[in-house]
Homo-oligomer: A and B are copies of this chain.
């Protein structure tokens, strides 16, 4: 059993109140006894109990983070951003995975409530709406990162999918491409719709005809296979460049191209989205849109802190960055505009 202030009080021959005050450098206690008690506490290996403190203060200095799936290399950096800000503010983070199962997600949030966390952060939730409906029961701030359900719920931090997609397509346009296809992700309705919107906006701004056939209807269940499937569709419609929903899909496409002997970027330019680690290792390395992962986490945590301090907060949308690598190049026979 850990040492308590009562143990120290007994050893020092004072009341436990005095010990508590001394350890807090309360000016009411004489410098002498303060020093004596602190020394004693040190020697006895005293560590205050956050549990007891929490019971009294009604705050645990704790937040809960729910992540959906472990398959996403994305998560750690998010987590790191959250934790940096949390730690600096004296908060600890509970991490729990929902495995993308709405039922588990609810269960996790329930556990967090039992533990009286001061705030909750949820990533890529597909059930953002349940929080709105249960908000009366969940008495703590909830911030969603890259929420995947349509509609506007609660407080969110998200990457600017539209802007990111525009960056990608503008890069391709700059290389002279006009036959640009898009491979989406039907299972992420919200961000998919936004990336498509960015794709269309960029083309429209450039005065390029929006050929509906260029929005490819790959339907495989996972990202990688959807990329592989997309290659044939792409060749059928005659695109010279393609923007993929994410890097995994782009990598699938690149792998399929390698098998069929189609050279990238000479015959086909490919842009991904996310800048996951493998993007820089594939051959050719992938031109992509980098999400500010750590920043997303930092902002989400900061938003929780602001909400706890009852400050106004605004939903945040973070800009992405274009990372040019080897999977994109000029259209064959065309000199790039710059």
A-side residues, CB < 8 A to B, are 1-2, 45, 47-52, 54-55, 58, 60, 62, 70, 73, 75-77, 79-80, 83, 87, 92-97, 110-111, 113-116, 136-137, 139, 251, 255, 258, 276-278, 281-283
Q: Are A80 and B55 in contact (CB under 8 A)?
A: no
Selected from B1, B60, B76, B283, the residue in CB contact (under 8 A) with A75 is: B76
8 A-B pairs closest in CB distance: A283-B283, A278-B278, A95-B95, A278-B281, A70-B80, A50-B115, A50-B114, A45-B137
Minimum C-beta distance from A12 to chain B (A): 20
Choose among A51, A95, A114 the residue with the greatest number of B CB atoms under 10 Å from its CB.
A51
Name 26 interchain pairs, CB-CB below 8 A, sorted by A.
A1-B58, A45-B136, A47-B110, A47-B137, A49-B116, A50-B114, A51-B51, A51-B55, A51-B116, A62-B115, A70-B80, A73-B76, A75-B76, A76-B76, A83-B95, A87-B96, A92-B94, A92-B111, A94-B95, A251-B281, A258-B283, A276-B277, A278-B278, A278-B281, A278-B282, A282-B282
Known contacts A75-B76, A114-B50, A281-B282; A83 and B58 CB within 8 A of each other? no
Selected from B1, B51, B95, B110, the residue in CB contact (under 8 A) with A115 is: B51
Known contacts A70-B77, A281-B251; A49 and B114 CB within 8 A of each other? yes
Selected from B97, B137, B277, the residue in CB contact (under 8 A) with A73 is: B277
- Which residues on B sit within 8 Å (CB–CB) of A60? 51
Minimum C-beta distance from A249 to chain B (A): 12
- Which residues on B sit within 8 Å (CB–CB) of A278? 277-278, 281-282
Choose among A60, A282, A283 the residue with the greatest number of B CB atoms under 10 Å from its CB.
A283
Selected from B52, B96, B113, B282, the residue in CB contact (under 8 A) with A93 is: B96
**Bound: A96/B65 CA distance, A:** 12
Q: Are B95 and A79 in contact (CB under 8 A)?
A: yes
Give the residue name and chain of the B residue nearest to A247 (CB). Answer: B281
Minimum C-beta distance from A312 to chain B (A): 23
Give the residue name and chain of the B residue nearest to A248 (CB). Answer: B281
- Which residues on B sit within 8 Å (CB–CB) of A79? 70, 95, 97
Q: Are A97 and B83 in contact (CB under 8 A)?
A: yes
A51-B60, A62-B115, A277-B277 are known; give 8 further A-B pairs, CB within 8 A: A50-B114, A51-B55, A55-B55, A70-B76, A80-B97, A92-B111, A94-B94, A258-B283
Give the residue name and chain of the B residue nearest to A114 (CB). Answer: B50
**Bound: A71/B81 CA distance, A:** 13
Minimum C-beta distance from A84 to chain B (A): 8
- Which residues on B sit within 8 Å (CB–CB) of A1? 58
Q: Are B48 and A114 in contact (CB under 8 A)?
A: yes
Minimum C-beta distance from A227 to chain B (A): 11
Q: Are A47 and B113 in contact (CB under 8 A)?
A: yes
Give the residue name and chain of the B residue nearest to A284 (CB). Answer: B283
Q: Are A93 and B94 in contact (CB under 8 A)?
A: yes
Choose among A2, A47, A62, A80 the residue with the greatest number of B CB atoms under 10 Å from its CB.
A47
Minimum C-beta distance from A99 to chain B (A): 9
- Which residues on B sit within 8 Å (CB–CB) of A52? 55
